C-alpha cells in the first residue's frame, strides 16, 4: 500500500508540474543541451509573436506547421532588459514566455497562424496562464507588428466571444510588439531535446499531439510528435 501511494504521488506530481518546475528536473538529468540551429536567411520571412503558457510546446507546435520556417522561444511584453529565465519565472520582469514565429507568406497567412494559436490552447479564457502554468509570465498575448495584424487579432477574438462556445471572455491581450529577447540556448528545441522531462511527457507532447491529431492537414510531413 505504501508503494502504491508513493507511485500515485509521483504520477500526480508529474502531471501537475509547471513549465518552470520541469526545467529544474531536466537540467539535472541533462546538463548539456543542443542549440537549435537557425536558418541564416530569416530576414526574408515575416514574423508573428505569440505568448500562451509555456514556450516549449508553443515552439514545438509552430515548428510543425506547414509554412512556418522556424520558431524561437523567448521573452516579451515586459520592461526588463536582458531578462533571464529565473527573472521571468519570478514574475518581476513583466515579460511573458513567448515565441517568435518566422513564416513564409506564400504558404501560410497571419490569420491562419492566429487560428493555430487559439485552437492549440487548452483554454483560451484562462487568465494569466494555460493549464498548470499559472502566473503573469504565462499570460496569453498577441503582439502585433502593424495595424493589419491588430485588426485580424481583434476580429478573431470578437468572433470567438460571440460564438457562444465559451462561458468567459477570451483572455488573450492584443498588444503592440516592442522587443523580443531570445531565451537561453537550453530552452530552444526543448521538447525534442528533453523527451525524458516529466512536464514534456505529460503536458507539452500531449498538447502538441492534440492539435496535430485534430488538424493533420496543417502538419509538415514527419513533424508529428
| Domain harbouring 164, CATH code | 3.30.1060.10
Has residue 183 been placed in a domain? yes
For residue 160, what are the domain limits?
44-217
Distance of alpha carbon 114 from the chain centroid? 13
Strands 141-144 and 173-176: parallel
pLDDT of amino acid 1: 43
Note whether 46 and 102 are within 8 A (CB).
Answer: yes
The 10 Å CB-count burial string (b at 16+, else e) for 162-184 is eeeeeeeebbbbbbebeebbebe
Helical spans, DSSP H, in 74-217: 85-89, 110-119, 147-162, 190-193, 198-199, 205-214
Q: Is 54 a known active-site residue?
A: yes
Cβ-based neighbours of 100, under 8 Å, separated by 6 or more: 47, 48, 49, 71, 72, 74, 180, 182
Q: Strand 96-103's sheet: what is its strand order?
A: 173-176, 141-144, 46-51, 96-103, 68-76, 180-182
How crowded is the C-beta side of 104, counted as CA atoms within 13 Å?
A: 10
Note whether 54 and 203 are within 8 A (CB).
Answer: yes
Has residue 12 been placed in a domain? no
Tens digits of residue pLDDT in 9-43: 334 444 446 787 555 433 433 333 334 467 788 98
Has residue 35 been placed in a domain? no
Note whether 104 and 69 are within 8 A (CB).
Answer: yes
224 — pLDDT class (breaks 50, 70, 90): confident
pLDDT of amino acid 7: 35
DSSP H or E segment with residue 57 = helix 55-63
As a whole number of Å, the end-to-end CA separation of the chain is: 35
Has residue 21 been placed in a domain? no
Total domains in the chain come to: 1
Has residue 105 been placed in a domain? yes
Note whether 154 and 174 are within 8 A (CB).
Answer: yes
Pick the catalytic residue: 14, 15, 19, 54?
A: 54
Has residue 161 been placed in a domain? yes
pLDDT of amino acid 225: 82
Backbone angles phi, psi at 171, to 5 degrees: -90, -15
Tens digits of residue pLDDT in 46-101: 999 999 999 999 999 999 999 999 999 999 999 999 999 999 999 889 999 999 99
Has residue 68 been placed in a domain? yes
Note whether 68 and 108 are within 8 A (CB).
Answer: yes
Residue range 158-166: mean pLDDT, rounded: 97
The β-bridge partners of 182 are: 74
Has residue 52 been placed in a domain? yes
Tens digits of residue pLDDT in 94-153: 999 999 999 999 999 999 999 999 999 999 999 999 999 999 999 999 999 999 999 999
pLDDT at 157 over 90: yes
Amino acid at each position: 500500500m505504501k508503494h502504491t501511494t508513493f507511485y500515485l504521488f509521483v504520477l500526480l506530481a508529474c502531471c501537475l508540474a509547471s513549465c518552470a518546475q520541469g526545467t529544474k528536473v531536466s537540467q539535472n538529468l541533462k546538463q548539456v543541451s543542443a542549440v537549435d540551429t537557425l536558418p541564416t536567411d530569416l530576414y526574408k520571412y515575416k514574423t508573428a509573436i505569440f505568448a500562451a503558457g509555456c514556450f516549449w510546446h508553443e515552439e514545438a507546435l509552430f515548428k510543425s506547421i506547414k509554412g512556418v520556417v522556424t520558431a524561437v522561444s523567448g521573452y516579451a511584453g515586459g520592461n526588463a532588459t536582458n531578462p533571464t529565465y529565473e527573472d521571468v519565472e519570478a514574475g518581476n520582469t513583466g515579460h511573458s514566455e513567448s515565441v517568435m514565429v518566422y513564416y513564409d507568406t506564400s504558404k501560410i497567412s497571419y490569420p491562419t497562424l492566429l487560428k493555430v494559436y487559439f485552437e492549440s490552447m487548452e483554454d483560451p479564457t484562462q487568465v494569466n496562464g494555460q493549464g498548470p502554468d499559472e502566473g503573469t509570465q504565462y499570460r496569453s498575448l498577441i503582439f502585433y507588428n502593424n495595424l493589419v495584424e491588430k485588426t485580424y487579432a481583434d476580429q478573431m477574438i470578437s468572433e470567438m466571444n460571440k460564438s457562444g462556445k465559451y462561458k468567459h471572455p477570451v483572455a488573450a491581450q492584443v498588444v503592440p510588439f516592442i522587443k523580443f529577447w531570445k531565451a537561453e540556448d537550453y530552452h530552444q528545441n526543448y521538447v525534442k531535446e528533453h523527451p525524458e522531462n516529466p512536464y514534456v511527457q505529460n503536458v507539452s507532447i500531449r498538447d502538441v499531439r492534440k492539435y496535430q491529431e485534430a488538424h493533420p492537414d496543417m502538419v509538415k510531413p514527419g513533424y508529428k510528435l
